[in-house]
Amino acid sequence: MNSDDEWREDVVAMIPALRAFAWSLSHNGSDADDLVQDTLIKAWSNREKFEPGTNLRAWLFTILRNTYYTQVIRRRREVRDETGEYANSMRTPATQDWSVAMRALQTALAQLPDEHREALVLVGAAGLSYEEAAEICGCALGTIKSRVNRARARLLKIMDAEDASDVMALEPAEATRA
């Protein structure tokens, strides 16, 4: 008989003791059987790491105990959800409405005359004051105010909105038409 056969016989002889120990940890026959099976698989896969002449029982019990605690830690992070109730409660609101509205806004901005779009972006998006925008554009303060006002009005008309709050409240179908 070769050493693998002897080792296997020694391990098989330990199964009742392993099962008793597994049951003492899990208090469930099915879980104990699974734990013993996992232990045997790990032991067989790592049999070359076992040093002959050392305590096989202690080695197997250590594998079983470590496997049990690994499973306990893993189960703490898992949520039992056989009915799918918990998974159904984990919904994220749709984000595509926002991106559709943004695309519609970009399309509408592209339809504005360059000087109106520039003024609106500087004041509305970049947050610059009218004075700063006028300086950047090289025009009078009144001209910038006029351009921003006209750009806002034209943008609302293009997007078929009453006021700015309506732009982001557009339904996806309305936003794609705009």
Task: Give the Cα separation of 108 and 156 in Å (integer).
Answer: 9
Note the helical H segments in 78-120: 85-89, 96-110, 114-120
What is the pLDDT at residue 1?
A: 59
Q: Phi-psi region for residue 84, left (φ > 0), alpha (ψ -120 to 50) or beta?
A: left
Closest by CA position to 108, among listed 94, 124, 92, 95:
124
The residue assigned the tokens 């006029």 is 146
Query: What backbone torsions phi and psi does residue 39 show, to the nearest 5 degrees?
Result: -65, -45
Enter the tokens of residue 10.
């020694």
What is the pLDDT at residue 171?
A: 46
pLDDT by 10s per residue, the chain, length 178: 577 788 899 999 999 999 999 999 999 999 999 999 999 999 999 989 988 889 999 999 999 999 999 998 888 887 778 788 888 888 777 767 778 888 888 898 899 999 999 999 999 888 899 999 999 889 999 999 999 999 999 988 888 877 766 655 544 444 444 4
Query: Cα(first)–Cα(last) distance of the chain, in Å?
Result: 83
pTM for the predicted model, two decimal places: 0.47
